[in-house]
Structure 1
Amino acid sequence: MRAMTYRGPYKIRVEEKDVPPIEHPNDAIVRVTMAAVCGSDLHLYHGMIPDTRVGTTFGHEFIGVVEEVGSSVQNLKRGDRVMVPANIYCGSCYYCTRGLYSNCHNVNANATAMGSLYGYSHTAGGYDGGQAEYVRVPFADVGPTIIPDWMDDEDAVLLTDATATGYFGAQLGDISEGDTVVVFGAGPVGLFAAKSAWFMGAGRVIVIDHLEYRLEKARTFAHAETYNFVEYDDIVVHLKKITDHFGADVAIDAAGAEADGNFTQHVTSAKLKLQGGSPVALNWAIDSVRKGGTISVMGAYGPMFSAVKFGDALNKGLTLRMNQCPMKRQWPRLFEHIKAGYLKPSDIVTHRIPLEHISDAYHIFSAKLDDCIKPLILVGDH
């Protein structure tokens, strides 16, 4: 098969690899039809995630058609059109039975630190991802879901991570009716978080970023009030001014660690960019919410030192809620919003690129060229 293959930082190519075999009776092999490049994939691309090994195939956002199933798989059959959540999870451990699929204890040798994702380094379990023609899907009776007939492929692939994670970020904010919500980062997850905040009763939604084309999308897609932080001496002071000097009720960190920059810049927070190491956005969130406010974090942070203003958070009486999103837990309500016409995830897609040219997709997305917000990767039948 043809598959995206990591050869080192900033070096990816499409190579021939063996089609993955069934390794366990509950595996499925899925023929990928569409995948996506996620902002968190850029951390891998830039060499910022530990134990990202040469030869790995990335990609935790993908849909496809079931090609083969193991002998114990009961819920899927060959030919089923499926969406596969980014998390790999067993469905039966202590965490999975509580809906914490992203914290599954049985799929990763590093399980005390995190669960597992497709194509996200050996830190996250070492599973190959879906930016390929075929992918092995473990626990096939648990994760994959048959795509409803009424749902478009592009909407389905975005539900496998970005849409669900944004919705989860708003959910973690514990938004009350009329709350002012500020979202740091206007990438795909931030856009979905801002849009979802309205579903949960927000009275005002503010989005902060430094790229004008992303802020324009936040205005048109998420109907948010927007501010470019480079235009202000101190964005936190500005946020206080426009919230009666109290601060927002809820802050959502949809930026996470910087997706580029060297280690020193990450540790010292010297790079003031809202991309997915340094805790710039998180510290802005701590500073800009009112006392007693809530901070939601679902931006991607790696296992490295970060100088977070924890004392300030303590003294302000803040509630910090965070996790990697358990994707499938968000799907029932998101299906309802999409079917009712309240949400069209594919509205944020800007680029559709064949698998053969995936290196271009990474370059365009990473360098923020051509007003790129979300690139999809067309595989197989496309």
Structure 2
Amino acid sequence: MRALVYHGRNDVRIDNVPDPKIEEAGDVIIKVTKTAICGSDLHLVDGLMPTMEEGDILGHEFMGEIVEVGSAVQKFKKGDRVVVPFTIACGHCQFCDDDLYSLCDNSNPNPDLSKASTGHSISGIFGYSHTLGGYSGGQAEYVRVPYADVGPIKVPDSLSDEQGLFLSDIFPTGYMAAENANIKPGDTVAIWGCGPVGQFTIKSAWMLGAGRVIAIDDVPERLDMAEKQGRAETIRTTNRMDVYEKLMEMTNGKGPDSCIDAVGAECHGDTMFGKVIDKTKEVLHAPMSRPYVLQQIMMSCKKAGTLSIPGVYIGMVNEVPFGAAMNKALQINMGQTHVQRYLKPLLAKIEAGEIDPSFVITHRLSLDDAPKAYETFKNKEDNCIKVVMTP
């Protein structure tokens, strides 16, 4: 089959690789019909995420048709059309029982690598390094999906692939980010980052009762989408003091009730230590995330406000004003998305017409175009916000 394969930093190619096979009785094999590039995929190709190996297949946002079913699978049959969560969960450990699927004890076959970076084993993730299981991803013609009775959900015939695809990650991620922000009716919510996750976070904040949504970025096409599709007020800069001062002006000096970091490790901004941090990362090849958004949020959020972090962070984050967060009594909620928890309720919202997730797509391409698509997406060329590919 054809698949997008990692060959080293900033080197991904379409290769012919062996077709996946059923390895465990709970597996299914899916023929991928749609797959997407996620912002966190850039952490892999940029070399920020450790334990990538040459030959790894990328991609954790995908859906398709089941073409082979393991002997223990009960929920699905050949021909079923499904969307697959990016987090892999066993369904029966303590954390899965508590609906904390991204913390699954059993789905990561490389627990020692995971413990080395986090102190504990966390769940496997498709196409996202050997620290997170070494699973082949879905930017391919076919993919093996383990624990099939726990993960995928059927997509009804009434919905297109493009409407169902983003249940795999960015819609649940945006919704959980808004839920973690403890939004009360009428609250002012500030969201850093207007990429795909940010766009769904904006939509979700309104669903959860926000009175105002303020979106912060410096990419014009993303801000335009936030205004037109998300009805958000916008701040069109990432300059540290400009953002703080504008937020104080917009909230009469109080600050937003909730602040959401929908950017993560490779954010852009200004800080007196920024060049030092980037140089250290370059010289030591250390997994070091940039602190700019966290700095702005911790200084800008209102006293006793809530900070929600759906953005992916890797390794260390230096120069974070933790004293400000502590003294202002900020509540901080974060984590990889427990996708399985949100599949049914968010699918119901799509079916009811409350949201059409395809609004975020700007580029529709063939899987063969994936290497170029990564460059376009990474460099923010051609007004690219979200790429969907067909194998």
Question: So what's the TM-score if we normalise by structure 2?
Answer: 0.92
Q: 1:173 to 1:118 in 2, by over 3 A?
A: same
On the 8 A contact 1:46/1:259 being kept in 2, the answer is: no
On the 8 A contact 1:268/1:307 being kept in 2, the answer is: no
What is the DSSP-based 3-state SS (H/G/I as helix, E as strand, rest coil) of the residue aligned with 1:234? helix
In the alignment, what sits opposite 2:277?
268
In the alignment, what sits opposite 1:57?
57
Q: In the alignment, which of 216, 221, 224 is matched to residue 208 of structure 1?
A: 216
Tell me by how many angstroms 1:295 deviates: 0.4
One-letter code aligned to 2:205: A
One-letter code aligned to 2:21: P
| Unaligned stretches of 5+ residues in structure 2 | 281-287
1:355 counterpart = 2:367: yes
Deviation string for 1:359-381 (max 9, x for gaps)?
A: 011010000000000000111xx
Q: In the alignment, which of 371, 374, 378 is matched to residue 366 of structure 1?
A: 378
In the alignment, what sits opposite 1:196?
204
1:88 counterpart = 2:88: yes
Q: 1:186 to 1:128 in 2, by over 3 A?
A: same
- 1:288-367 aligned within 5 A: 288-367=300-379
In the alignment, what sits opposite 2:285?
none
Tell me by how many angstroms 1:267 deviates: 7.1
Q: In the alignment, which of 209, 214, 226 is matched to residue 234 of structure 2?
A: 226
What is the DSSP-based 3-state SS (H/G/I as helix, E as strand, rest coil) of the residue aligned with 1:207? strand
On the 8 A contact 2:240/2:296 being kept in 1, the answer is: no
Tell me by how many angstroms 1:305 deviates: 3.9
What is the DSSP-based 3-state SS (H/G/I as helix, E as strand, rest coil) of the residue aligned with 2:194? coil
Q: Counterparts of 2:164 and 2:264 in 1: how far apart (Å)?
A: 24
1:182 counterpart = 2:183: no
Q: In the alignment, which of 278, 293, 300 is matched to residue 290 of structure 2?
A: 278
In the alignment, what sits opposite 1:25?
25
Q: Counterparts of 1:313 and 1:27 in 2: how far apart (Å)?
A: 44
| Residue range with higher mean Cα deviation, 69-78 or 363-372 | 69-78
Q: Counterparts of 2:14 and 2:193 in 1: how far apart (Å)?
A: 30
On the 8 A contact 1:350/1:372 being kept in 2, the answer is: yes
Q: Counterparts of 1:219 and 1:257 in 2: how far apart (Å)?
A: 25
One-letter code aligned to 1:268: I
1:171 counterpart = 2:179: yes
Q: Counterparts of 1:199 and 1:211 in 2: how far apart (Å)?
A: 25
Deviation string for 1:270-299 (max 9, x for gaps)?
A: 99xxxx911211221111110000000010
Q: 1:242 to 1:259 in 2, by over 3 A?
A: closer
Q: Counterparts of 2:268 and 2:66 in 1: how far apart (Å)?
A: 36
In the alignment, what sits opposite 1:39?
39
Q: Counterparts of 1:173 and 1:270 in 2: how far apart (Å)?
A: 33
On the 8 A contact 1:57/1:128 being kept in 2, the answer is: yes
What is the DSSP-based 3-state SS (H/G/I as helix, E as strand, rest coil) of the residue aligned with 2:344? helix
In the alignment, what sits opposite 1:243?
251
Q: Counterparts of 2:168 and 2:275 in 1: how far apart (Å)?
A: 28
Q: Counterparts of 2:96 and 2:74 in 1: how far apart (Å)?
A: 19
Deviation string for 1:73-115 (max 9, x for gaps)?
A: 1111111111101111100001000000011011121261532
Q: Counterparts of 1:339 and 1:22 in 2: how far apart (Å)?
A: 32
Deviation string for 1:121-164 (max 9, x for gaps)?
A: 01111101000011110001110111112221012111100111
Tell me by how many angstroms 1:201 deviates: 0.7
Question: So what's the TM-score if we normalise by structure 1?
Answer: 0.94
On the 8 A contact 2:167/2:343 being kept in 1, the answer is: yes
Q: Counterparts of 2:293 and 2:241 in 1: how far apart (Å)?
A: 15
Aligned length: 373
Q: Counterparts of 2:227 and 2:142 in 1: how far apart (Å)?
A: 37
Deviation string for 1:189-219 (max 9, x for gaps)?
A: 0011011101111000000001011000000
Q: Counterparts of 1:269 and 1:234 in 2: how far apart (Å)?
A: 22
RMSD: 2.0
Q: Counterparts of 1:259 and 1:57 in 2: how far apart (Å)?
A: 25
Tell me by how many angstroms 1:339 deviates: 1.8
Tell me by how many angstroms 1:310 deviates: 1.4
What is the DSSP-based 3-state SS (H/G/I as helix, E as strand, rest coil) of the residue aligned with 1:376? strand
Q: Counterparts of 1:130 and 1:260 in 2: how far apart (Å)?
A: 28
| Residue range with higher mean Cα deviation, 222-231 or 140-149 | 222-231
1:156 counterpart = 2:168: no
Q: Counterparts of 2:239 and 2:91 in 1: how far apart (Å)?
A: 47
1:217 counterpart = 2:225: yes
1:3 counterpart = 2:3: yes
1:102 counterpart = 2:111: no
What is the DSSP-based 3-state SS (H/G/I as helix, E as strand, rest coil) of the residue aligned with 1:4? strand
Q: Counterparts of 1:25 and 1:339 in 2: how far apart (Å)?
A: 32
Tell me by how many angstroms 1:306 deviates: 3.2
Q: Counterparts of 1:75 and 1:266 in 2: how far apart (Å)?
A: 52
In the alignment, what sits opposite 1:127?
135
One-letter code aligned to 1:74: Q
What is the DSSP-based 3-state SS (H/G/I as helix, E as strand, rest coil) of the residue aligned with 1:24? coil
One-letter code aligned to 1:184: W
What is the DSSP-based 3-state SS (H/G/I as helix, E as strand, rest coil) of the residue aligned with 2:305? strand
| Unaligned stretches of 5+ residues in structure 1 | none
| Residue range with higher mean Cα deviation, 252-261 or 161-170 | 252-261
